[in-house]
């Protein structure tokens, strides 16, 4: 199977690059070939590809900056996927798209089901939801995976930030009233590939799914786990979100129900603790 992947240097794309096998060929599309602010260029690539499936692993993920630059976020997170999926439908190609927990309003304390009403709190969530809507409306073969708190040894993410700050300070104050599931990018990559493979064989598996790591945890407790597992001596003090204001509101509840992902694709919920061990191992290897 050959897969055309939009995204080249992001966390998920970097992990997808490690998934190539004798049976899986991956062609990565970076900004040099198709900038996501140019949806027509993205569609043109799909129109001429010899790939068997398309994965969109690229997005505008600067949550705070999106509040001031929603127009660009809308281009990348909504207009580009809309153009991509229409081109994929025209070619009869399965389309796998990554979305986010930010499409919900973060209320309550139970995991969000895939059919729970959406209610984005800010620009990032609004633009990602618009992208989802376009994918669903195209009428093709697709899988949307809403994920959360993505971490890896690549790019910028919470694990790398904590390791850096934990090495510099004896004590950190971390938000403790936002609860969610850290999700290793490696698990997202593997899930996207497996979904693409299964969708080729069974278009009836098309739909919207949740993919978040378990068990659910607060940012503060996640930080403690990072320090404990990495052998970093740094105290974590819990604070409320109100003590750490940001331009974009963060959902207090990012718990997501992964039931349908397992039922449809046979993929269990990722264990972020196992993923964190692998990330720390990768980071140690990069230092050598």
Domain that holds residue 263: 2-156+182-213+254-270
Q: Can you give the pLDDT at residue 234?
A: 97
- Using DSSP bridges, classify how beta strands 179-180 and 217-218 pair: parallel, antiparallel or unpaired: antiparallel
Mind listing the pLDDT tens digit for each residue in 124-160?
999 999 999 999 999 999 999 999 999 999 999 999 9
Residue 241 within a domain: no
Enter the pTM of the model: 0.96
Instruction: Name the domain count of the chain.
Output: 1
Residue 58 in domain: yes
198-222 residue pLDDT tens: 999 999 999 999 999 999 999 999 9
Q: Which pLDDT does position 22 carry in this prediction?
A: 77
Q: What is the pLDDT of residue 133?
A: 98
Examine residue 224 and state whether it is found in any structural domain, yes or no: no
Residue 206 tokens read as 């098309």
* Per-residue model confidence as pLDDT tens digits over 133-143: 999 999 999 99
Whether residue 240 is contained in a domain is answered as no
Residue 187 lies in a domain: yes
Cβ density class 121-149: b for 16+ within 10 Å, e for less: bbbbbbbbbbbbbbbbebebbbbbbbbbb
Nearest to 135 by CA among 182, 172, 80: 80
**Alpha carbons 231 and 225: distance in angstroms, whole number:** 10
Cβ(232)–Cβ(166) below 8 Å: yes
Q: Where are the beta strands (DSSP E) in 57-141?
A: 95-100
Other Cβ atoms less than 10 A from the Cβ of 15: the count is: 23
CATH number of the domain at 26, please. Answer: 3.40.50.720
For residue 97 the two structure tokens come to 């798209």
Place of tokens 């207090």: 252
Q: What integer pLDDT is reported at residue 30 of this predicted model?
A: 87
In a domain, 72, yes or no: yes
Contact in structure between 184 and 275 (CB atoms under 8 Å):
yes
Quote the pLDDT of residue 249.
95
Residues of the chain with pLDDT under 70: none
Position 21 scores a pLDDT of: 82
102 as an active site residue: the answer is no
Task: Examine residue 236 and state whether it is found in any structural domain, yes or no.
Answer: no
Structure tokens at 41: 């260029």
Per-residue model confidence (pLDDT) at position 104:
98
Assess if residue 97 is contained within a domain. yes
Active-site residue among 60, 102, 124, 209? Answer: 124
């Amino acid at each position: 199977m050959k897969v055309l992947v939009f995204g080249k240097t992001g966390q998920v794309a970097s992990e997808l690059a490690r998934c190539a096998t004798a049976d899986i060929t991956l062609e990565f599309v970076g900004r040099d070939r198709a900038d996501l602010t140019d949806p027509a260029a993205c569609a043109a690539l799909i129109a001429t590809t010899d790939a068997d499936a398309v994965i969109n692993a690229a997005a505008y993920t600067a949550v705070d900056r999106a509040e001031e630059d929603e127009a660009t976020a809308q281009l990348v997170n909504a207009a580009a996927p809309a153009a991509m999926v229409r081109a994929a439908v025209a070619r009869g190609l399965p389309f796998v798209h990554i979305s986010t927990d930010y499409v919900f309003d973060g209320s309550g304390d139970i995991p969000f089901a895939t059919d729970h009403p959406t209610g984005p709190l800010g620009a990032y969530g609004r633009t990602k939801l618009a992208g989802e809507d376009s994918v669903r409306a195209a009428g093709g073969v697709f899988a949307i995976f809403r994920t959360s708190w993505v971490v890896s040894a690549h790019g910028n993410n919470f694990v790398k930030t904590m390791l850096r700050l934990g090495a510099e300070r004896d004590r950190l104050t971390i938000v403790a009233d936002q609860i969610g599931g850290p999700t290793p990018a490696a698990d997202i990559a593997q899930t996207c590939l497996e979904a693409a493979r299964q969708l080729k064989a069974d278009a009836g598996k098309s739909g919207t799914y949740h993919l978040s790591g378990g068990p659910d945890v607060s940012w503060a407790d996640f930080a403690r786990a990072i320090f404990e597992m990495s052998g970093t001596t740094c105290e974590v003090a819990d604070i409320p979100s109100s003590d750490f204001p940001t331009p974009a509101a963060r959902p207090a509840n990012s718990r997501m129900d992964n039931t349908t992902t397992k039922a449809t694709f046979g993929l269990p919920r990722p264990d972020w603790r196992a993923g964190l061990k692998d990330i720390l191992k990768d980071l140690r290897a990069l230092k050598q």
